[in-house]
Amino acid sequence: MRLSRYFLPVLKETPREAQIVSHRYMLQAGMIKQSSAGIYSWLPLGFKVLRKLENIVHEEQQRAGHLPMLMPTLQPAELWQESGRYNDYGREMLRIEDRHGRDMLYGPTNEELITDIFRSHITSYKELPLTLYHIQWKFRDEVRPRFGVMRGREFFMKDGYNFDLSKEDALHAYNRHLVSYLRTYERMGLKAIPMQADGGPIGGDYTHEFLVLAETGESEVFYDSKVLDLHLGDREIDFDDVAQCQGIFDEWTAHYARTDETHDDAIYAEVPEERRQKARGIEVGQIFYFGTKYSQTMNATVDDGKGNKVNVHMGSHGIGVSRLLGAIIEASHDDKGIIWPEGVTPFHCGILNMKSGDAEADAACEAIYNSLTALGLEPLYDDRDERAGAKFGTMDMVGLPWRITVGPRGLKNGVVEVTCRRTGDSEEMPPEQAVEKIAKIYAGIA
C-alpha cells in the first residue's frame, strides 16, 4: 500500500474523549471513528487489524476441530422466553419490534439460537461431540460504554458452543478450548492468564476468564507470579488427546490466579509472599461449562445408545475480538504510538522515503516495495510529499514493527536503514539485505 493512496486520517490533536492510551491511539492513528456512544466505524487500518485477529481466531478454532458457521445478529424473542433469559437479561438487551409486531432482539450472545439449531437436527449420541462457533457482531446496551472498543455497545465476538454426551466429554471440550485460547493469544503476542471466574448471567460452575495484565484493566486480579513463566510455545498439540489437554489445563491452573469476584484470601495466603501479585487486567475471553442448563429448558436431547433420551452437556466460549485491539495496544505501546506484535501488524514493514521526488530515492523505495510484495509481504510505503519529521511521526504512531528508511545520503553509500519499532535500534545495510532481513523475521508468522 502506498500512503498517498490510502485512507489514514491521522489526527494531529489528542482526542479529548479518550481516557486510556489504546482508545487515544486508535483514534489518532485513524483506525476507528465513533458513530454513537460505544458504536464505531472501522476505518481501513483498524479494519485490517480486526481481520487479522479474526483470521487467527478462525485458524486456531479450526485447528482444535471446531466448526465455523454464521448466525444472525437479530434473534426472535421466543427462544429467550423459552430459556427464561428474556426477562433476566434486563436493559442490556436491545429489544426491537418488527413491522408485524413480533418481538426481536439484537443478540448479546447465542446460547438459545444455537441450542435451537442443535435440537432441530441432532437426535443421536453418534453425532457427538460437536462444537460450533461463529464470529459475529453482538450488541449489549452497556450502562457505561467507555474506553473505545474495549467496552463498546456493539462489539465483535467469537462465541462457540460445545455439545457432548456426558459431563466428562464436556470437560474435555472445556480443556480443549482453554488450550486453543492460549495458542490464540500467544500468536497475537499477548500473555493472557486464565483465571477462575464467576459465571454471571450465562451461569455455570466451571468458568475461567483470560486476562491480559494492564493498569487500565477493569478487573482486579490476584495471582501467583509463577503463572507468568508459562508458555505454550510451538509444542505439538493433539486436541483429541484428553490427557494432553487435561495436562495443559492442570499446568496453567496449578497456580493461584483469580479475579476479585472469586478471590479467596485464605487460599491466596498460601502462596509464598514474594510471589503474591495484585494487579489489574483486561478480560479478553471466557470459557464456561454449564451442563444441561439450556438443554433442559430448551429440551435438547439425544438418544444415548441405550434407549434413553438424555439432555446434552454444553459449554460456551467467547473471545472479544474487537476488544483485543485495545488490549494489544494497552500491552504494547510507547509514548510515540502503537507497537504492533509481528503476528497482528496491519502491514509488515514501513518504507519511509526521506526525499520523495528524488529520482534515486524514489527508485530505491519502489524496488524495495516490489521485492517485499513479491515475497508475499505487505509494506506500507510513505511516498507522500511531506517533511521527513511528519513521516516519522506517522510511522511511529501507526506502529509497524519494522521500518526501512531510504534517503539520498545513505544511498550514496549503497545503504538503507532498518529500524525496529520496539527497541528503536537501527542498522544500515544494502537494500537487498534489508528485504531479506524483513522476510526472515516474518518466515513462519505472516
Interface ranges with ligand ADP (CB under 6 A): 109, 140, 142, 151-152, 155, 157, 200, 283-286, 318, 320, 322-323
Q: How far is the CB of 260 from ligand ADP (least distance, A)?
A: 13
Residue number, 37 or 69, with CB nearest to ligand ADP: 37
Q: How far is the CB of 283 from Mg ion (least distance, A)?
A: 5
- Choose among Mg ion, ligand ADP, none what residue 224 binds, the Cβ cut-off being 5 to 8 Å by kind: none
Q: How far is the CB of 337 from ligand ADP (least distance, A)?
A: 22
Residue number, 217 or 407, with CB nearest to ligand ADP: 217
Residue number, 159 or 169, with CB nearest to Mg ion: 159
Tell me: does residue 286 bind Mg ion (CB under 5 A).
yes
Q: By CB under 5 A, how many residues form the interface with Mg ion?
A: 1
Residue number, 180 or 286, with CB nearest to ligand ADP: 286
Given a contact cutoff of 8 angstroms between Cβ atoms, the answer to whether 356 and 57 are in contact is no
β-bridge mates for residue 118, sequence order: none
Q: How far is the CB of 339 from ligand ADP (least distance, A)?
A: 21
Q: How far is the CB of 326 from ligand ADP (least distance, A)?
A: 8
Tell me: does residue 109 bind Mg ion (CB under 5 A).
no
Q: How far is the CB of 375 from Mg ion (least distance, A)?
A: 40
Residue number, 192 or 377, with CB nearest to ligand ADP: 192
Which of these ranges, 63-71, 118-126, 283-291, 351-359, lies near Mg ion under the rule CB under 5 A?
Answer: 283-291
Residue number, 320 or 401, with CB nearest to ligand ADP: 320
Q: How far is the CB of 404 from Mg ion (least distance, A)?
A: 41
What is the x/- site pattern for Mg ion, positions 234-273, by CB under 5 A?
Answer: ----------------------------------------
Site residues for Mg ion per CB under 5 A? 286
